Amino acid sequence: MIKNPPLVSVIMNCYNGGEFLYEAINSIYNQSYQNWEIVFWDNASTDNSAEITRSYDNRLRYFLAEDTTLLGEARNLALQKASGKYVAFLDCDDLYLSGKLEKQVQLMELSDYAMCYGSVVTIDKKGLEIRRNPVKHHSGYILKQLLEHYEINMQSVLVRRSVLTKDGFSFTTHLQYSPDYNLFMLISSKYKVGVLADYLAQYRILKNSLSSKTIDFASSEAKFTLDEITRKNPELKKKYPLELMKAYAKAEYYDVVASIFKGDRYNAIIKLKPILLVRYEYSIIFLLLLMQIPLKLILRILNR
C-alpha cells in the first residue's frame, strides 16, 4: 500500500467521443488506486459526450471549450486545470487496465523519474485483442533507445506535473500528428524515465483513424521534434550520431507511408531509395513496391 497516496489528474480530451466514453471513464473509476481526479476537457463536442459525463460524481471535473482547437492546445488547456502531483492521459476510445495507476504511482514515489510508461494491448472496435505491444526499453536515460525505437503509448504515461511546470514543458500547439511524441521526447532528452513491463492500457484502433490528411504531417513533425531536441542539446549530435540518423530516416519513412496511403507507388519508391540501407524493413517494403504488391496489402503488412 502507498502511504499518503498522491492525487493523480487524468486528462481526458474529448471531441465527439461518446461512442466509447462510458467504457473509458469506467476504466478510471475501476482503478485499484482511487486518489484521482478526471479533468474532462470537452473540445466543443456536438454529440452526447457532455450528457454522459453528468452521470458521474464530482471526481469528474467537466470543462467545455468555447471553440474546437487542435489537440495540442486542448491538452494544454486541460493541463492548466490539473491539480494532482502526477498527470496521466486517457483518450475517449481507450481504456486503463485496473492496476495502471497503482503500479505507476508506486514506481514514481520510489524513484526520481520524470515520467513512466508501460506496455499496451491494441484492441478493435468491439474491444477484442488485435496484438500486444510489450515495451523493450529499460528505465533510465532512454533517449538513445527512443531515437532507435519510439515505443511510448500516451495512454500508458504518468508524468510528474512539477516537471511540466518547472521546465515549461507543454504540448506544441501547431503539431497535428504527434504533439505527444514531441513532449515525451523533450522530457526524455533531459530526465530519466521509468519503464514498466506490465500491460497498463488498451489502445483502440478504429477504421479510418489514420487519414491521408493526418499522415501528411507525420514526417515534418518528427523532423521538427528531432531538430528541437538537438537545438536545445547540441551535444546529442556527437553523442548519438547513428541513432539520430536512424530517427531522421524514420521521419522520411513516414513520407513513404503517406505516399502508399494515397496510392502513389512511384513516389513511395523514390522516397525510399535514400534510406534503403538504414533498416532492413525499408528494403523489404521497397521490394514489395517493385513487385507490384497491392498497396492496400502493403499497408496491412505495415499495420496501417
Alpha helices in 193-240 (DSSP H): 212-215, 218-232, 236-239
Which pLDDT value is given to residue 206?
Answer: 83
Low-confidence residues of the chain: pLDDT under 50: 210-212
The domain 8-204: what is its CATH number? Answer: 3.90.550.10
pLDDT, position 260? 94
- Characterize the bridge pairing of strands 129-133 and 95-96: unpaired
What pLDDT is recorded for position 1?
67
pLDDT at position 39 is 98
Residue 3's pLDDT is 80
| pLDDT, tens digit (0-9, with 9 covering 90-100), for 70-103 | 889 999 999 999 999 999 999 999 999 999 999 9
Per-residue model confidence (pLDDT) at position 216: 84
> For 156-185, what is each residue's pLDDT tens digit?
999 999 999 988 899 999 998 899 999 999
Q: Is the dihedral of CA 270, 272, 278, 279 positive or negative?
A: negative
- Domain-wise residue ranges, the chain: 8-204, 212-301
* SS3 category, 284: helix
Per-residue pLDDT at 210: 44
Q: Is 113 left (phi over 0), alpha (psi -120 to 50) or beta?
A: beta
Residue 2: the pLDDT is: 78
